[in-house]
């Protein structure tokens, strides 16, 4: 049962990572698994077997979430933007309590408050930044492959930082649409058994995937170091990112055709997301970081 629960949490993280404005890292914090996953990533080689066994169900869930639900999420945001957004806001706020308990109030000072404010403002600024043009596809050459590796590293870094949306960063850098389209194209080609059609999306996603792996590992190392050296200040920064996320999501939500029906449905989806976060967080204390 725990394995299934971990896969479901992975699905939530994967889905969050493909939605501009929503942070996979925030979902990890909300479900009480952030510290565990960071530990497993940074100790992947020194505690290989235990780390792999811990990360595997989350990785499976993330792949399922990204590949299987990408089209559905695009449909929901296009047709029901507010209820879809409030569901994710509920997921974020439903898991906020564990993070609040990690902030040592006795050690709070001016520096911690400034860090909270800076990170809070940073997320709001990103949400207010206008989109740039994203091409439908890319023409692959050596230069573009190198750029894709860099884009993957940037996306991965922001994916695991709570409150910072990796997909939003890709959108601002002009690589969100071609990467998402490559995922859709690869999925369609695989289902159709069209190996010729797999080539272009595969070679688009391969360097991007290499960059993702590099980015996740090195940023996780940095976060672990910060949590050991400056725990209160680091958690204040994370708290600023997470609390700003619901505001950022609403700022990015298309409100053009929102009516009272959508608002009422939005309240229901918020409550469902809030309850789901609490349920998904249950049992997270039973999953301990692997020890040497």
User: How far apart (Å, rounded) are the C-alpha atoms in residues 24 and 37?
Assistant: 12
Residue 146 lies in a domain: yes
Q: How many Cα neighbours within 13 Å face the side chain of 77?
A: 20
Task: Identify which of 201, 71, 79 has the alpha carbon closest to the alpha carbon of residue 140.
Answer: 201
Model pTM greater than 0.75? no
Domains identified in the chain, total number: 1
Residue 82 lies in a domain: yes
Question: Which residue segment(s) compose the domain that 248 sits in?
Answer: 2-286
For every residue of the chain, which 3-state class applies, written as one string?
Answer: CHHHHHHHHHHHHHHHHCCCCCCHHHHHHHCCCHHHHHHHHHCCCCCHHHHHHHHHHHHHHHHHHHHHHHHHHHHHHHHCHHHHHHHHHHHHHHCHHHHHHHCCHHHCCHHHHHHHHHHHHHHHHHHHCCCCCCCCCCCCCHHHHHHHHHHHHHHHHHHCCCCCCHHHHHHHHCCHHHHHHHHHHHHHHHHHCCHHHHHHHHHHHHHHHHHHHHHHHHHHHHHHHHHHHCHHHHHHHHHHHHHHHHHHHHHHCCCCCCCHHHHHHHHHHHHHHHHHHHHHHCCHHHCCCCCC
pLDDT at 228: 84
Residue 291 lies in a domain: no
Residue 292 lies in a domain: no
Residue 192 lies in a domain: yes
Residue 108 lies in a domain: yes
User: How far apart (Å, rounded) are the C-alpha atoms in residues 144 and 129?
Assistant: 25
Q: What is the pLDDT along the chain (292 residues), one digit of tens a residue?
A: 788 888 988 998 888 787 765 678 878 877 778 888 888 988 888 899 999 999 999 999 988 888 777 677 767 877 888 998 898 888 778 767 766 777 777 778 899 999 999 989 987 887 777 555 556 667 778 888 998 998 888 877 767 777 666 776 776 667 877 888 888 888 889 888 888 888 888 998 999 999 988 888 888 888 888 888 888 888 888 888 778 878 888 887 878 878 888 899 999 999 998 887 777 656 444 443 434 3
Residue 231 lies in a domain: yes
Residue 7 lies in a domain: yes
Q: Cα torsion at 49, 52, 54, 59 (round to 10°)?
A: -170
User: How far apart (Å, rounded) are the C-alpha atoms in residues 58 and 55?
Assistant: 5
pLDDT at 187: 84
pLDDT at 286: 40
């Amino acid at each position: 049962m725990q394995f299934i629960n971990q896969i479901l949490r992975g699905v939530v993280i994967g889905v969050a990572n493909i939605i501009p404005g929503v942070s996979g890292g925030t979902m990890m914090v909300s479900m009480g698994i952030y510290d565990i996953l960071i530990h497993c990533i940074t100790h992947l080689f020194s505690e290989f077997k235990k780390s792999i066994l811990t990360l595997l169900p989350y990785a499976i869930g993330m792949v399922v979430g990204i590949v299987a639900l990408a089209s559905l999420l695009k449909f929901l945001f296009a047709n029901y933007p507010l209820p879809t957004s409030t569901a994710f806001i509920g997921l974020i706020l439903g898991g906020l309590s564990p993070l609040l308990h990690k902030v040592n109030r006795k050690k709070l000072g001016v520096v911690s408050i400034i860090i909270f404010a800076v990170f809070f403002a940073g997320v709001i600024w990103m949400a207010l930044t206008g989109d740039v043009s994203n091409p439908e596809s890319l023409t692959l050459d050596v230069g573009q492959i190198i750029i894709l590796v860099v884009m993957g590293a940037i996306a991965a870094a922001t994916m695991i930082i709570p409150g910072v949306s990796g997909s939003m960063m890709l959108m601002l850098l002009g690589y969100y649409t071609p990467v998402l389209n490559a995922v859709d194209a690869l999925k369609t080609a695989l289902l159709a058994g069209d190996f010729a059609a797999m080539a272009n999306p595969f070679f688009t996603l391969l360097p991007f995937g290499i960059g993702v792996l590099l980015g996740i590992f090195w940023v996780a190392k940095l976060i672990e170091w910060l949590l050991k050296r400056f725990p209160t200040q680091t958690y204040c920064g994370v708290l600023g990112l997470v609390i700003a996320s619901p505001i950022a999501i609403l700022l990015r939500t298309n409100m053009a055709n929102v009516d009272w029906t959508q608002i009422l449905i939005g309240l229901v989806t918020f409550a469902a997301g809030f309850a789901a976060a609490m349920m998904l967080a249950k049992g997270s204390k039973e999953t301990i970081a692997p020890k040497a």
